[in-house]
Amino acid sequence: MKRNIRISLKKNSLFCVCFAVLLIAFAAVPVQAQQTTVNLKIPELVKGSTVYATIEITNVTDLDAGQFDLSFNSSVLKVLNAENGSIGDMEIPLKWRSIDDGTVRVIFNLEGVTGISGFGQIARIGFEVIGEGEGDLLISNGLLGNIEANRINTDWGVTAAKDANQSTSGFGAVFALVGLIAVFCMFRSGRKT
């Protein structure tokens, strides 16, 4: 009798823990979906080739302007140009300048103050690969502004190019689904005992 109560308690506790994890997962998904992220997509560097570093943006709302510095290893890369990106049908009109040997500063300001929301590409920065080694491409001093001239809370930390296509909200959904299946299985096994 006591053994049964203990087993029942153990299962209930486990259920509660799983349920709490699920709740957290579900709660986290919409929050992550609202976070504006900027990803730097870095191509494979082959000496003698021309490559483009792509700056991608997701989950942005009412974007009006932005700026960032893109630093790189100047013994490996030589900057050639910066091409306008786009979000939806809206082109991002860039201005850029090399501020030192290994850094370009890129800024943009959309026409008018109607802003743009969604995802897309801010810019493509073209490089000539002039040497061997790491490109050390890194975004710093990033700032996005909205149509009221306020800062947009942005995650600029993502530099893993190859993983950049894997969206955060998709990961959350998979995580939540796995949790749901686990709870279901536990619930079923509990009934059998």
Distance between CA 10 and CA 126 in Å, rounded?
59
Q: Is 191 in the site for other proteins (CB under 8 A)?
A: no
Q: Are residues 108 and 161 in contact, defined by beta-carbon separation less than 8 angstroms? A: no
The tokens 């997509």 sit on which residue? 41
The interface with other proteins within residues 12-71 (CB under 8 A) comprises 64-67
Q: Which CB atom, from 93 or from 131, has the smaller least distance to other proteins?
A: 93
Q: Is 97 in the site for other proteins (CB under 8 A)?
A: yes
End-to-end CA, the chain: 13
Q: Which CB atom, from 48 or from 112, has the smaller least distance to other proteins?
A: 112
Q: Is 109 in the site for other proteins (CB under 8 A)?
A: yes
Could you tell me how many residues of this chain bind other proteins (CB under 8 A)?
A: 22
Q: Is 174 in the site for other proteins (CB under 8 A)?
A: no
Other Cβ atoms within 10 Å of 1 Cβ, number: 5
Distance between CA 37 and CA 33 in Å, rounded?
10
Query: Can you give the binding site for other proteins, defined by CB under 8 A?
Result: 64-67, 95-97, 99, 105, 107-109, 112-113, 143, 145-151
